[in-house]
Amino acid sequence: MTAFNSLTVENFVAFQKRLEWGPHASLNVIIGENDTGKTHLLKLLYSMARAIEDYGRKKAGPEPRELSELLAHKLRWAFLPQKMELGRLVTRGSGNRLGANLCWNTGGHLKFAFGKDTTTKIVEIDTNRLSDLEGSKASFLPPKEILSIFDAIVATRETVEIAAFDDTYYDLVQDYRQPPTSGNLQVNIKKALLHLENVTGGGEVEMEMEKDGNIVFRRGKEVFNMHQTAEGIKKIGILSRLMRNRRLTPAGGCMLFVDEPEVNLHPKAIVLFAEMLHEFAQSGIQVYLTTHSYFLLKRLEQLAREKNTDYSLLDLRKQDGAGVTGTVSKLADGLPQNPIVEESLRLFDRDVQLDLAD
């Protein structure tokens, strides 16, 4: 199955120097302290993947569009740079040019570059074997859930087109709108749904199309509107919908990008969420996520070791005068020392000191 294999970026926001990230795996975790560019990398990958998806879908239609146009639009609306200018994504400095090169495992690539004076168009772009990704789908789950602000996202983008919500939110609204389909689900997807049901207590988030599209949480005979529903359950409900409407499916190639999945989740739910992401990766969906959670990171490491999988960890660190650099390791080899583990150990040491003082 075609999957992303490596990403190289240079002069891209926090990444002043060249960052070479590869090889990618079926599940890829990005960690780092605040302001190290974790979400930037996630959004960049997503923008490239979604532009490729849109290009493949539109090229046979009545109004085909160039990949460069679709990519420029997606980058602008995913990042919402100042004045909506692409050049604002270039690392500040004299003569800098942003460069990005995404490769996949069949020898294909998407490479582009632009300078700090670029506004809305990408001129320098090169591709190879785009057809290998035909039929692929990319979905992005941002930290904030969309269900309680669903109407606001639609209104600001479809009625007045103002930059109140970036494309990770608007695209997710579009994906959520697709109705569920019938048919059997792949075994690992069924397991992922089971993990979600364990978090929600068997409840389900539903869009009531016959009632003006209201979104509710239904558990047994009880029905709750979105403002009565916990944030974590709403996030779970979104993923459930994407599985049931076949947005998240191994068929044709699929990528899931999740930014800090632990937000608004209890530690027990975080562990279940990690197991769900593992099922996605095992089914053939390529997963990318950022996290600050020791619970999530530790459970993914355990699963990688138990199943001897290729799960990858990118550890981003700030370097004096050199921007952000990254180190890649395999979770199956155990957790390397990193700020998340170090802080957990520091708190444990503090407990020991307090116990000795008693």
What is the reported pLDDT for 243? 86
Q: How far apart are CA 190 and CA 114, in angstroms?
A: 43
Q: How many CB atoms lie within 10 A of CB 292?
A: 17
Q: What is the mean pLDDT of residues 107-136?
A: 95
In 3D space, the residue among 331, 260, 242, 252 whose CA is nearest the CA of residue 286 turns out to be 252
Kindly tell me if the per-residue pLDDT of 12 is higher than 70. yes
What is the reported pLDDT for 163? 77
Q: Pairing mode, if any, of strands 4-10 and 97-104?
A: antiparallel
Q: What is the mean pLDDT of residues 252-259?
A: 90
Kindly tell me if the per-residue pLDDT of 5 is higher than 60. yes
What's the angle, vertex CA 237, arms to CA 231 and CA 240, rounded to 5? 150
- pLDDT tens readout for residues 297-348: 999 999 999 999 999 999 999 988 778 999 999 999 998 888 888 888 787 7
More confident residue, 239 or 313: 313
Region of poorest pLDDT, from 32-41, 169-178, 212-221: 212-221
Hey, CA dihedral for 163, 167, 172, 177, is it positive or negative? positive
- pLDDT tens readout for residues 21-72: 999 999 999 999 999 999 999 999 999 999 999 999 888 778 889 999 999 9
Q: How far apart are CA 72 and CA 87, in angstroms?
A: 11
Domain map (residue ranges) of the chain: 4-182+251-357
Write down the pTM of the prediction.
0.91
Kindly tell me if the per-residue pLDDT of 222 is higher than 80. no
Contact (Cβ atoms closer than 8 angstroms) between residue 89 and residue 98:
yes
Confidence of residue 210 (pLDDT cuts 50, 70, 90): very low
Q: What is the mean pLDDT of residues 6-10?
A: 96
Torsions phi, psi for 165 (to 5 deg):
-130, 135
Residues 6+ apart with CB under 8 A from 89: 12, 13, 75, 79, 81, 98
CATH homologous superfamily for 4-182+251-357?
Answer: P-loop containing nucleotide triphosphate hydrolases (3.40.50.300)
* 282's tokens: 């095992």
Q: What is the mean pLDDT of residues 144-151?
A: 81
In 3D space, the residue among 97, 90, 45 whose CA is nearest the CA of residue 71 turns out to be 45
In 3D space, the residue among 137, 149, 143, 148 whose CA is nearest the CA of residue 178 turns out to be 137
Confidence of residue 211 (pLDDT cuts 50, 70, 90): low
Residues 6+ apart with CB under 8 A from 352: none
Please provide the average confidence, as pLDDT, over all residues in the chain.
88
Kindly tell me if the per-residue pLDDT of 212 is higher than 70. no
Kindly tell me if the per-residue pLDDT of 217 is higher than 80. no
